[in-house]
Amino acid sequence: MTASRGNNVGSSRPDADDDGSTPETVARVELGLAQLLRRAERTTAATTARTGGHDLDRSGYLLLHALRDGGPQRVQALADRLGIDASTVTRQVVSLERAGRVQRSRDPHDGRAVLVSATADGRDALHAQRRRRATTYTTVLADWSPADRVLLAELVERLNTDLDAYARGTSAD
């Protein structure tokens, strides 16, 4: 079974003659992404309320994810990896440090530099949130075919890559 498309408020069905190059298609993508972001936030809030969990905000989640994947890192490396400026990462690190989810320490290779690393509590919070999100999306995508789920993952990854390239002023190719 393929994904249900009946809940796309404000979107229109694709025209049989639409080859994807029309302004209407771009408008559908733009509106769909705006709705997706709003629904993702709403879904996170609903999951938190249902489970009684204390979810990380999006910035904390992404920062802890970057630390999980890359290990302890300097603020500038985190900023580069996340595609945001170092001052924003510093504010996020301070917030996560106050919550006991990251710690800062001197870089053993350069005593002037600071490394940020996830604490056990930060790793646990990330793991718990990933588990909650996986449960949510497993439920939401249950009626999608495996091929549609794989395609969605590939297209989301491609969109993220292309958005990063656009923000850098480069081509993703």
**86-103 pLDDT, tens per residue?**
999 999 999 999 999 999
State the pTM of this model: 0.77
Give the tokens for residue 66: 């970057």
**Residue segments in the chain with a per-residue pLDDT below the cut of 50:** 1-12
Which residues touch 48 (CB under 8 Å, ≥6 apart)?
A: 54, 55
Residues 118 and 69 placed together within one structural domain of the fold:
yes
Q: Is residue 148 part of a domain?
A: no
Given this model, what pLDDT does residue 17 score?
63
Given this model, what pLDDT does residue 65 score?
96
Alpha carbon distances (Å) from 13 to 38, 65, 127:
21, 37, 38
Q: Residue 77 half-sphere exposure, CB side, CA atoms within 13 Å?
A: 14
- Among candidate residues 33, 45, 43, the one with its CA nearest the CA of residue 8: 33
Residues 82 and 30 placed together within one structural domain of the fold:
no
Residues 67 and 117 placed together within one structural domain of the fold:
yes
Given this model, what pLDDT does residue 100 score?
96
Q: Is residue 63 part of a domain?
A: yes
Q: Is residue 128 part of a domain?
A: no
Given this model, what pLDDT does residue 169 score?
86
Residues 79 and 103 placed together within one structural domain of the fold:
yes
Q: Is residue 42 part of a domain?
A: yes
Total domains in the fold of the chain? 2
Residues 40 and 77 placed together within one structural domain of the fold:
no
Q: Is residue 66 part of a domain?
A: yes
CB atoms closer than 10 angstroms to residue 128: 15
Q: What is the pLDDT of residues 26-41, one digit of tens each?
A: 999 999 999 998 998 8
